[in-house]
Structure formats: structure tokens, C-alpha cells
Structure 1
Amino acid sequence: MLTEALLSRTAPLYERVRGVVPAFEWPAFAGDVDAILELKRRRNAVVLAHNYQTPEIFHCVADIVGDSLALAREAATTDADVIVLAGVHFMAETAKLLNPGKTVLIPDARAGCSLADSITAEDVRALRRQYPGVPVVTYVNTSAAVKAESDVCCTSGNAKAVVESLGVPRVLMLPDEFLARNVQAETDVELIPWRGHCEVHERFTPAEVREFREAHPGVVVLAHPECPPEVMAEADFSGSTAMMQDFVERERPAKVMLLTECSMSDNVAARHPEIDFVRPCNLCPHMKRISLGNIRRALETLTHEVTIDPAVAAPARRAVERMLAVR
């Protein structure tokens, strides 16, 4: 049974999410939140949370939050002994690549990614044989083994800059077909795509966007570049989750719709209760495997630890570090 003291200790944290977490739900979260904060102190641990995590994780127990690029940058500089990645497995691998001497934990080892599953290291080797001499730019939404076969990684926020930094006329861009097609519209570099898709973003349709506009006059539509190009054409702005958040904070639209995973809207709305968020909720089942309960268990038992074969880690790390060097 929760004590008044525990509820009092966690009350300031609840204030961060009051607008998106009903008061009757907070007692179900408060015990885990309180325990996680104590375990982080005891373990010298940090929690890195992706923008698609639920608000009680994102706003109440995370130390570092953001998109894949922000998490990668911050993971490279943390002085914690233990890193808990509240996200999916490829993100935990990236954190481990950049922190080989630290303990990196993923609270649920089954938290995967449809994009990461769409391509293998052997696929990349076959593409190199098919396109000899053409450099490989690989989205961070891939396994360490795929990164190891690549020249440089990218995120949705820096993909164009990474592609153009190579100074070549032709690039293999893997594995998200829609990201490649959307970047192709902005660069003269010829991009050869793979046919991988994000199961969240590929479900958005142009007709759906038009229906929301009709139902919500004046709504400003922001789209993630993993959406199909036909959806991007219906949007008012496109960019990574970090760019979407920056847009909302800068422009303060009265009514906005984010075409991305549904917890993103909740996390931005928690900071901007004055903005009306229209929510077309496409949920990522992999992100939602992470919970307060399994973050707590990860810190209690130091599971599930992420390890990477050193022969894979070295070239994969180089690809990620080359990405981080691009501004």
C-alpha cells in the first residue's frame, strides 16, 4: 500500500505529467518511480529515454531524453556506470558502442524494430558486391552487425548532411525506403534505397491527413520522414522527432498533429498544455514493451545487459562516430 510520504515525495514529478496522466493513474506509477530514483543513485545509473516512451518514463525517471541522434550524442559523454536504455534494442547497442566499458541495459530484450529487422549484414555485403565502390549510409535503426558493414550512420535529423558530407555522386542509403526517397527530394546525390519500412510511419496515408484537416480546421501537420513521400506532401513541416518538438516550441501553433508514434504527442503536450494536440495514434509495440516496472527490475538485477562481439563493435563504432562528427 502506498504511503502518504511516498505520494508526497513523488507529487512534484506528477506535476510534470498532470496534463496527460490522469490523477487516478498516478498511484500505480508512484512506487516504481520512487524506487527507480533511489536505484539510480545507488547504481550511479542514468536512464536514456527515446521520445516515443510514455510520459511517466519520459518526464519522471529519464535523465536524458530525445531522438536517436540526441541519445547517441549524450550516451557518448555520460559518466554513469550503468546506462538503462528506455527504447529499443538497436538504441541500446548504439549506447554500448559508444560506452564499451559501461554496463548498458535494455529493460526488455524483446524490444526490437521493424526497420532493424528488415536488413542483415549479409544483405549489405550483397549490395556492396552489386554496387562496387558505392558508399553505404545506414540509418541508426539497424543492428550493430549492419552498422559494422557500413561506411557511416545517419539519423532522420542529419541524413541529408551525412549523405552530402561524403562528396560522392551516388550512395546506398539503408534500410528505410521512405527516408531515402524523402532525402532524395532534397539532394542531387543519387540515393539507392532498400525496401525497409517503419511499421508505425508506413501506416499513415494522404487520405487520413486530409480527413484530419477537414475534421480539425486550422491544424498544423508535422510529419516524420519515415512516412511515405505522399504523406509528406500533405504535411506543413517534416523532420525528426527533435525537429518536430523544436517546431512546436518555436511556432506555438494553436492546433497541431504529429504524424509519428503516439507517445511523442503526449510528451510534447505535457510541456505545452496551451496547445491543442490532434492525436492520430499509431503505436509502436516494441517501444511499449518498456515500462516503469521493467526499468526498475533492470536496475535491481542489472538485466538485460547488452553485449556486442568486439569484431563487430569496432567497425560499427567507427560508422556511428563518423555520423557524430557530421554537423
Structure 2
Amino acid sequence: MTASVHDLITLSPKDSCNTKLAAGPWDFDTVPGYGPGSSQADRLPDPVSRPGQLPERYQLMPEPELQERILAAKATLGEELVILGHFYQRDEVIAHADFVGDSFQLANAALSKPEAKTIVFCGVHFMAETADILSAPEQAVILPNLAAGCSMADMADESSVETAWEEICETYGVDPENTLPDAEGKLSILPVTYMNSSAALKAFCGRHGGIVCTSSNASTVLEWAFERAHRVLFFPDQHLGRNTAKAMGVPLEQMPLWNPRKALGGNTAEQLREAKVLLWHGFCSVHRRFTVDQISQARAADPGVKIIVHPECPMPVVDAADAAGSTDAIQKFIAACAPGDRIGVGTEINMVNRLAAQFPDRTIFCLDPVICPCSTMYRIHPGYLAWVLEELVAGEVHNQVSVEPEVSVHAKVALDRMLAAKPKA
């Protein structure tokens, strides 16, 4: 089985994307950027400031004491607390989650506990924002470490998307308010944002007739959009958009890339008029690491190996794999495999390791030999979880994520459309 993140401290530099990952994440909370790991070279928008904070006593606590404190606080808080954990979280955090899942499942889980006064979201910033939008007004949403952002989400900021939208609508000769259908009863274009985006961009979609998607329901969402519009502006992840639309039969030449730093996104007006899906120039740093060569090497070592990757991987990687799907789909794919099967997986290492432990009768390995967890998910450490829970017991709420009402109301429109767009079986 691939080495776990906890083995990083003993790995040589060639085995890890950054050996600093072995340090406590609090060491990097006040340093500009996303911290050590696979997204360390990502371009930061200006400005991005989500400083984390953790009292020193929690930084120095041994792991067993942190675990005991978390359990004790959970017992005291009882039904007033619900903890949500994304698949990519480290095992020591997932152990305390009441719900574990992908972004679509956790969005639904946030709705399922109306009696909970507090939702602690062990994920990243945009997930906590979504939980706040969907939860009841009296519920508080906490992100244990406010420095847990998402480099992909930050690749599409509100200003850049607004500017792009104005250029696009001018090219198509339509009102930017996007409310008037043509003779066919369709709009010229609809915005679709991936869940991995800010609340402001979800609100942008809500205001302009658009919708949010997850990797679970992306094809359902695109079908919804094409019933209502001739084209889609898909952001921020170009790979999910391209892979999903290609599987639906959209030709690649009708999926131009929109680079927000170039006029018309780097395209001609004719290319935009012929487009079916405009793909924002964004990506996931973890999933961009996977390559066709890695798949070829796995097949050379074992021609019978099964390969499944996340649809945030580049198109050639998805095409070379046996299957592609969301984190939940990957889990179901592996569960359906037979004992003795060898399965190469193209997604985040914490999840791969957890699946390998869950199915010891199968050989499950990460296609990327270099250990690179999602460096921002990795910032949720048991120390932060213990701290925010013990503060709740003391009657103090720390690291609450609150979306402004004028943003929340429009974002909820787009999110409700997403929740109604059920993933395909």
C-alpha cells in the first residue's frame, strides 16, 4: 500500500512533494500562499487572507490527549453538534465525523440535522460557506482552521468572472442580466459554477439563472443548463467541465478555454459564437498531477489492473482510465471490485489510503508515487478540532463562517437547483 501522510517525516524529498508537510499546519497559517504541498506554486489572487489561529497549548498536546479531548467535548455537546468530514481529511479527523462524504453528500448532510446548534465542517472554506447558506439562521457553522482555503476556488474570483461575463454577453449581443430567451425559448448562455467556488460566485449564478454542480451531478447539471440555454460558462475547473461535456458528446472544438487575463479569454469572437461550453482556466493541483504515463506504468506492471480517476484529472488521463467519477463514485467502484483485484486510483492520498485499509483483500494504490495530499484540506488538524469544540463547551464560538445575507439569498437559489439535480446512477 502507498505510504500514508503520517509517514512523510521519514520520506526522502523524492518521495514527497514537500517534506514540510510533516510539520504542524499552524506553522504556515500566517504565511502567504496555500502552504506546503501540491498547490504551493498556485497563483494567489489579490488579495487572499484567511489567517488561521491555534493556541500554543493545542500545538504542543500529544495526539492521544487531543483525541480524548475531542471525544469528551463531543459527548458534552451531544445532539447540539454535528461534525461533517470530507473524504480528503486525515484519518484522525475523519474518526470524529458524524457524516463523511463528497461535497454533494455533505451539502445534503448539512440539511439533515436541524436540531444541531453548531455545524463543524472539516473541509475547506467554500464548503463551510455552503453549509452556512443551506443551514438554518440559528445554526452556526465553524471551520476549525480558517486558513483551509482552496486554490482551485481562488482561481475564479468575483471580479474576473463579472468582467468575463460582460465580454461574453457583449459578444453574443445579449443583456448581461440574461433574462430574455430567444425565439427557441432559450437563453444565449448560462453560468455553471463547480461547488469548489466562493459563495459570491454561487450568488452570481443564482442572479443570472445559473446553477452549482458537484463532480457527482455535473452531467445532470449540464443537461439542465442545455435545456435552458445554448451555451454554458463553466468555472472554475476546466477539467471537470471538459470531461463531463465530452462524455455528453460536445466536440472539443466547441469547448474553448477562457483565460481571464486575456481579451475575450484568448479567443476570437467567432470561436465564442461557435462554442457550446466556455471553460474557465482553473484546475485542481492534486488531480493535475496524475498522468497517462502513470497509468501506462501501472498497466505494464499488471495488465489486469483496474484504473479509476477523478474527473478533475486532465482529459487524456480520464480517457486512459477504465472509469472516472466523484469521490463517492470511486468508493463505490472499489467496493464493487472483487477480492484480489488491483486498483490504481487517481485522487487524493488520504482517501486512497483509507480505501486500502477498508478493503484489505484488494490491492489499492495511488497512481502518483509522490505523496501529495490536498495541502489545504491537510490544514484541519485534530488540534484545531479539539480547540473549537472545547471553546463551544465553554460557550465561545470561534472561526465561524458567515455569508452575508445579500450573497446568501442568491447563492441559495443556485444551490437549491444543484440539490434538485440528482446524480445519475
TM-score range, shorter chain: 0.7 to 0.9
Residue 145 of structure 1 corresponds to 200
Change beyond 3 A, Cα 1:28–1:210: farther
5+ residue gaps, structure 1:
1-18
Residue 325 (structure 2) pairs with residue 239 (structure 1)? yes
Residue 243 of structure 2 corresponds to 182
Residue 312 (structure 2) pairs with residue 251 (structure 1)? no
- Please, which of 153, 158, 165 is the counterpart of residue 116 of structure 1? 153
Aligned residues: 304
- Please, which of 109, 113, 117 is the counterpart of residue 74 of structure 1? 109
What is the one-letter code of the residue matched to 1:320? L
Residue 175 (structure 2) pairs with residue 88 (structure 1)? no
What is the one-letter code of the residue matched to 2:401? V
Rg comparison, structure with higher value: 2
- Please, which of 231, 236, 257 is the counterpart of residue 170 of structure 1? 231
TM-score, normalised by the number of residues in structure 2: 0.68
5+ residue gaps, structure 2:
8-60, 170-177, 179-188, 251-275, 392-396
Residue 355 of structure 2 corresponds to 268
1:240-268 deviation digits (Å, cap 9, x = unpaired): 00000011112236111210110011222
Change beyond 3 A, Cα 1:213–1:188: closer
Q: Is the 8 A contact 1:260 1:282 kept in 2?
A: no
Q: Is the 8 A contact 2:355 2:364 kept in 1?
A: no
Change beyond 3 A, Cα 1:272–1:20: farther
Divergent runs of 4+, >4 A? 19-22
Q: Share of identical aligned residues, percent?
A: 38
RMSD of equivalent CA atoms:
2.0
Structure 1 residue 123 displacement after superposition: 2.1
Structure 1 residue 146 displacement after superposition: 1.1
Structure 1 residue 219 displacement after superposition: 2.1
- Please, which of 32, 38, 52 is the counterpart of residue 72 of structure 2? 38
Q: Is the 8 A contact 2:5 2:349 kept in 1?
A: no
TM-score, normalised by the number of residues in structure 1: 0.88
Q: Is the 8 A contact 1:55 1:266 kept in 2?
A: no
Structure 1 residue 277 displacement after superposition: 1.4
Q: Distance in 1 between matches of 2:237 and 2:417?
A: 20
Q: Distance in 1 between matches of 2:318 and 2:63?
A: 37
1:120-142 deviation digits (Å, cap 9, x = unpaired): 11222223222334111100100
Residue 296 (structure 2) pairs with residue 296 (structure 1)? no
What is the one-letter code of the residue matched to 1:62? A
Structure 1 residue 143 displacement after superposition: 0.7
